[in-house]
Amino acid sequence: MSGSKPDILWSPHHADRYVICDSELSLYRIGAVGTSEAKAGALPLSQETAATLLAINSDTPYMKCVAWYPKHEPECLLAVGQANGRVVLTSLGQSHNSKCKELVGKEFVPKHARQCNTLAWNPVDSNWLAAGLDKHRADFSVLIWDISSKYSPEAVPAEKLRLSGDADSGMVVTKPLYELGQNDACLSLCWLPRDHQKLLLAGMHRNLAIFDLRNTSQKTFVNTKAIQGVTVDPYFPDRVASFFEGQVAIWDLRRFEKPVFTLTEQPKPLTKVAWCPTRMGLLATLTRDSNVIRLYDMQHAPTPIGDETEPTIIERGVQPCSESVISSFAWHPSTQNRMVVVSPNRAMCDFTVFERISLAWSSTTSLMWACGRHLYECTEESGEGGAAEKDIATKMRERAQSRYGHDTVQLWRNHLLAGGNDPHLRSLWYTLESLMQQYTEDLEQRQQGNKQSLIYAGIKNIVKSSSGTTETRRCWKGSDRPTDVAQYHSEERSLALQLCGWISRGPEIDVEPFLRSLEQEGEWERAASVALFNLDIRRAIQILNKGASAEKGDLNLNVVAMALSGYTDEKSSLWREMCSSLRLQLKKPYLCVMFAFLTSEPGSYDAVLYESRVAVRDRVAFACMFLNDNQLPRYIDKLTNDMKEAGNLEGVLLTGLTKDGVDLMESYVDRTGDVQTASFCMLRGSTAEVVKDPRVQCWIENYRNLLDAWRFWHKRAEFDIHRSKLDPSSKPLAQVFVSCNFCGKSISFSCSAMPHQGRGFSQYGVSGSPTKSKVTSCPGCRKPLPRCALCLMNMGTPVSSCPGKSDEKVDLPRDKKLAQFNNWFTWCHNCRHGGHAGHMLSWFRDHSECPVSACTCKCMQLDTTGKLQPSDYV
Amino acid sequence: MELHILEHSLKVASIAKEGIQICTHGLIKLAFLPSKTRCKFFSLTETPEDYTIIVDEDGFKELPQSEYLSVADATWLALNVVSGGGSATSSQPIGVTKIAKSVIAPLADHNISVFMLSTYQTDFILVRERDLPMVMHTLSSEFTLLRVVNGETVAANCSGVTNGFVKPKLVPRPIIHPLSSPSNMFCVTSLDPDTLPSVATLLMDVMFYSGGGKEAGAQNEDSGHIRFFSFSLIEGYISLVMDEQTTRRFPNNVLFTSASGELWKMVRIGGQPLGFDECGIVAQISEPLATADIPAYYISTFKFDHALVPEENIQSVIGALRTNESTGQ
């Protein structure tokens, strides 16, 4: 601190008081803005706080440094180091305090005058005050004064006091308790909190030295340039920061030979370096004429190990009071991360450093973040009535738990496993169900390879290959009136209708079963429109009537039925005119398209085809009936592209599980993130081209990772099994082999099928030794396998895993036993003892040490994955 | 004990009294505006004969070349003894006395010429750069030698070469040069660099104008007073040596004074200019003082040497030195 630039000191015990010292000492109290007594003359420090000047002390000129008495009593006692080396005790606003009175005004005078650079109270023995002085050729640079020492007349002859200019010589002390550091200057010093008898000095001769007052002739020291402002980390008593010009060095007192690390050098000389007293490992530095306080967060380096490890430090700058230059700052002693900053013109600013936020997602949608000492958790609201849709991760997790995707017999049930409330998934699984049905029926009935691929390929490809279309003009059912509506038929169109679910297999086009099923489900409007599209107005009217009279039926359906019964094909009729305009006001899409169909010109059914609220399968079926060979592929192409763009799973009906289907699924995953559905769906695609698509592999891998992250290891295994059934190429190859200690060959039977081992094994295999021994001995050299440390039986490999071997080797009762995990080999990588997995697991349930006597290896504790528990139990 | 070899390359120069005007600009800059130069080592000593300047190379550039400026034709290095132990042993004897036996005498034995500059803070022993190997060889047994390089203190290893060095001749050192003791008393003091601007004009007056001209100085000398003033600014530390009358011109509390307020008397060595080649002069004076445990400051100038001893000891000092003188003759 120099005389002109103000410095700032917090009271060690009053969290609301601080002192600004420049040419005089000013005591301030900080308080909230607007508190009663703070009104008059309060200086605003921030939006919430203001400071009130309590007292000014200008008794001590030539101040160089100030230190606040660390104990509660007497409060507000300050030691002031002056330019001539004297240390004066003074006080602020405490005139009534008797104990203080005794001390205030006491002076400690060095033999030879020179500047006092630094002061430090001993944290334990608070009578001790260390003063660091500039160098004098014949004097010590560190003087430790005892403030309670009485004036001793023999120490200072009266005539020698002529220069002290102090009438009350009783207040002058000239005999220090200790003197240290001859012929050197002390620029900075601090007491070591671990041992209050020890003092760390930074001297002029470029060294840092630790003195022990119990034996002052010995010191530990290190040569360094960084000798200004030594300060001990309050949270880590062996960590010390010291600086020199623009550089800060961090020391570990236990390895004092060289700095643990140095911080990036600042272009301007540093003026203050201070550890945050409320936050571990946070160091603030200030350079001259700067408006930025740099903060170094050393959270990640509490104990640096080894010489070369460079600990991670996060550096950032804070600008507490916009553009104005900072003269000094002081951390608040108790409020976290708070500081008061003072500018050269004494403008002050109360400032809280905002804590870095570290954030972590859990694998189960909860979010946590830490800010300062607070930990916040944000979890998804699981309330049933929650309006917000659940996150896809939560959905997938729940679906994984309900075994979604695993129903391979009734594919449509998977949408129920998924919760049954997602229309997209419902449509998808029904589509896949029908695709699969067609596929299997095809296989059974025709055994013709040429059409199989088409069926999984979706309607788009089916209609493309359409040929031999016949055009018919049918009459309205139950009337002789011919219609001018052309209908088209072909084998492929029928197939498409089947896939859409309108008709069942067979040569006839009979929608009656479909209509009945729709009626059963109460989808009256849809049933009516399907009936209408099959030119059966009477049936449609009948359905509507039924719908109106059904439980909770909509009576409006009767009105619609009435309107429908008035149908006339007269082009200019009032009916037609009114229907075509009023149909737009109908809320139900199926009712709307019914009238659109009736009022549209033959061959142009855009109002039906592009009514997006109508299910894709119905629109496609409609298109297959009423569009000619030119219009149909164009319409299907357009619809397919729309579906792909929107990522609408209904489009799978069109694309099938082809490349197109992957494109569609890609945009679905992009939109929803639902890799689960994508994985299960595409695995059914089974053509190599589809499953090998990198996107599909990516979804599958991501889904497996998700299951791992949720610790759904059983689900993962199930998924892998499911996957390998549908995609045999995904079966993982054996990666770990157990080799025989004697011959070095793999002992697993499956490996013995490999050519290089085959000969040796078959040679021994027929040599007629008992089957039992083969299981527990090496198939290569017949030597016994190691024994289990617990049951002392030789371990063995399950024979069942040896496919294609002669039957005599299969020991059936053992087979089942061996196939279980309990009989697997397991051993500790550390002590190399092991045994049957089941035995080992049960042993370590009750013990921590290895079962082999005299082995103290804590095998299970070394196994980090052994401690993880799956979150899904089967 | 540690011996620090500082990194300043020093020049020793003399400015004739009548030529001081042309140098004042540079000198004021060096003395009062340290931030305007890169100079780290500056000392100015006024004696009745001349001004002696010790300045590092950066500072030397500030001085104009002129006929009044004579420079000793060598580069000097400053040595500084640090009691590395920091032991709480008695602080007496201080200054030159402390290092007389350990540094000055061995150097004199090896015929190494030294130039002394005592300040308030410490004592600098200046040796010629070319003598450094010899100095290091001589002192390596007694000291940990440390060299300052770019602000970092590093261990300086002695070359270890002993061949070619002359064996020291251990002869008694009689005092050859005449001694005189002026009557005025001196203060060795310092001040806070922050307060330097406030007394700068006063210091300038003392340095350059208050000599009262040549004739006044001569008169003073006749009446037993000597005109002697030294100012140094070395690595940011100010040291002042001035006589008691001059100190009274300074405001209260500006000058650092010791608690005991000690005053010093001067012993001036040399009847005619001593030159730079003769060795052993400092040793001749400091050794008897060390033997008698008398603290002293020692300031060499271009022409003569000056020792400062406590006022109460002056008689015993003169006595001790005279004895030495007589035994030498």
B62: how many CB neighbours lie within 10 A of its CB? 19
List the Cα angle A749/A754/A759 in 5-degree steps. 90
Compute CA A466 distance to the chain's CA centroid, rounded to the nearest angstrom. Answer: 52
- Residue A43 backbone dihedrals phi, psi, to 5 degrees: -95, 120
Report helix, strand or coil for A438. Answer: helix
For the segment B108-134, the average pLDDT, to the nearest whole number, is 88
- Are A564 and A599 contacting, i.e. CB atoms less than 8 angstroms apart? no
Helix (H) or strand (E) holding A208: strand A207-212
Q: Which of A2, A111, A140 sits opposite B259 (nearest CB)?
A: A111
Domain contains B290: yes
Q: b or e along B252-283 (b: 16 or more beta carbons within 10 Å of the residue's beta carbon)?
A: ebbbbbbbbebbbbbbbbbeeebebeebbbbb
Domain contains B215: no
Domain contains B243: yes
Express each pLDDT in A216-266 by its tens digit.
Answer: 777 787 878 888 889 999 888 888 999 988 889 998 888 888 888 888 888
Q: How far apart are the first and last CA of chain A?
A: 71
Express each pLDDT in A93-146 by its tens digit.
Answer: 766 556 667 778 888 888 888 888 899 999 888 889 999 988 887 778 889 998
Find the closest chain A residue to B3 by CA distance.
Answer: A205
Q: Which of A3, A138, A162 sits opposite B295 (nearest CB)?
A: A138
Express each pLDDT in B55-70 by its tens digit.
Answer: 999 889 888 888 888 8
Contact B259 A182 (CB under 8 A): no
Contact A205 B82 (CB under 8 A): yes
Mean pLDDT (chain B, rounded): 81
Domain contains A832: yes
For the segment A351-370, the average pLDDT, to the nearest whole number, is 81
How far is the alpha carbon of A335 from chain B, nearest alpha carbon, in Å? Answer: 36
Exposed/middle/buried for A75, CB within 10 Å: 0-12, 13-18, 19+? buried
Identify all chain A residues contacting B232, using CB atoms and an 8 Å cutoff: none
Contact A225 B152 (CB under 8 A): yes
Domain contains B24: yes
Q: Which domain holds residue A853?
A: 822-861
Tokens at B151, concatenated: 């602000």
Contact A111 B258 (CB under 8 A): yes
Tokens at A626, concatenated: 């009423």
Mean pLDDT (chain A, rounded): 79
Identify all chain A residues contacting B195, using CB atoms and an 8 Å cutoff: 62, 83
Instruction: Say yes or no: B28 contacts chain A, CB-CB below 8 A.
Output: no
Q: Which of B83, B146, B295 sits opposite A183 (nearest CB)?
A: B83
Contact B252 A165 (CB under 8 A): yes
Identify all chain A residues contacting B86, using CB atoms and an 8 Å cutoff: 180-182, 184, 209, 211, 216-217, 219
Any idea what the CATH number is for the domain that residue B241 is in? 3.30.2130.10
Q: Which of B88, B148, B237 sits opposite A134 (nearest CB)?
A: B237
Give how many domains chain B has, as a whole number: 1
- Cα dist from A495 to A228, A437, A485, whole Å: 89, 12, 22
Q: Which residue has the tokens 């009294």?
A: B17
Identify all chain B residues contacting A134, using CB atoms and an 8 Å cutoff: 121, 237
Find the closest chain A residue to B238 by CA distance.
Answer: A114
Contact B91 A138 (CB under 8 A): yes
For residue B45, name the pLDDT band (cuts at 50, 70, 90).
very high
ipTM of the complex: 0.79
For the segment B4-18, the average pLDDT, to the nearest whole number, is 90
Find the closest chain A residue to B96 by CA distance.
Answer: A137
pLDDT of residue A445: 62
For the segment B247-268, the average pLDDT, to the nearest whole number, is 81
Residues 6+ apart with CB under 8 A from B8: B40, B41, B56, B57, B77, B78
Give how many domains chain A has, as a whole number: 1
Domain contains A391: no
Contact B259 A135 (CB under 8 A): no
Helix axes A694-709, A713-726, angle to 10 degrees: 160
Contact B88 A84 (CB under 8 A): no
Contact A216 B86 (CB under 8 A): yes
Helix axes A589-599, A524-533, angle to 10 degrees: 20
Chain B 95-154, residues with CB within 8 Å of chain A CB atoms? 95, 118-123, 146, 148, 151-154
Helix axes A659-672, A675-683, angle to 10 degrees: 160
Helix (H) or strand (E) holding B189: strand B185-191
For residue A311, name the pLDDT band (cuts at 50, 70, 90).
low
A254: how many CB neighbours lie within 10 A of its CB? 8
Domain contains B127: yes
Contact B85 A136 (CB under 8 A): no
For the segment A284-289, the average pLDDT, to the nearest whole number, is 90
Find the closest chain B residue to A210 by CA distance.
Answer: B86
Interface test with A, best of B90, B91, B103 (most A CBs within 10 A): B91
Asked if the model's pLDDT at residue A556 lies above 70, the reply is yes
Contact B86 A209 (CB under 8 A): yes
Q: Which carries the bigger pLDDT value, residue A448 or residue A351?
A: A351
Domain contains A420: no
For residue A156, name the pLDDT band (cuts at 50, 70, 90).
very low
Q: How many contacts (CB atoms, under 8 Å) link A and B? A: 113
Helix (H) or strand (E) holding B243: strand B237-243
Q: Which of A62, A113, A137 sits opposite B119 (nearest CB)?
A: A137
Asked if the model's pLDDT at residue A164 lies above 50, the reply is no
Contact B152 A206 (CB under 8 A): yes
Highest mean pLDDT among A232-246, A436-450, A601-615: A232-246
Q: Which of B88, B91, B253 sits opposite A139 (nearest CB)?
A: B91
Identify all chain B residues contacting A111, using CB atoms and an 8 Å cutoff: 258-260
pLDDT of residue A773: 40
Asked if the model's pLDDT at residue B1 lies above 70, the reply is yes
Q: How far apart are CA A352 and CA A386, in angstroms?
A: 38
Q: b or e along A489-507 (b: 16 or more beta carbons within 10 Å of the residue's beta carbon)?
A: bbebbbbbbbbbbbbeeee
Instruction: Say yes or no: B260 contacts chain A, CB-CB below 8 A.
Output: yes
Identify all chain B residues contacting A156, using CB atoms and an 8 Å cutoff: 259
Domain contains A522: no
Contact B153 A205 (CB under 8 A): yes
Q: Which domain holds residue B18?
A: 1-158+169-210+233-328
pLDDT of residue A760: 38
Highest mean pLDDT among A21-25, A170-174, B74-78: B74-78
How far is the alpha carbon of B86 from chain A, nearest alpha carbon, in Å? Answer: 5
- The rounded radius of gyration (Å) of the Cα atoms in chain B is 19
Find the closest chain B residue to A245 by CA distance.
Answer: B151
pLDDT of residue A749: 56
Q: Which of A404-413, A764-773, B125-134 has the lowest mean pLDDT?
A: A764-773
Q: Which carries the bigger pLDDT value, residue A777 or residue A758?
A: A777
For residue B325, name the pLDDT band (cuts at 50, 70, 90).
low
Domain contains B286: yes
Domain contains B228: no
Contact A206 B120 (CB under 8 A): no
Please tell me the pTM assigned to this model.
0.63
Asked if the model's pLDDT at residue A635 lies above 70, the reply is yes
Q: How far apart are CA A72 and CA B312, in angstroms?
A: 49
Express each pLDDT in B79-100 by its tens digit.
Answer: 888 765 444 444 444 566 677 7
Identify all chain A residues contacting B152, using CB atoms and an 8 Å cutoff: 206, 223, 225
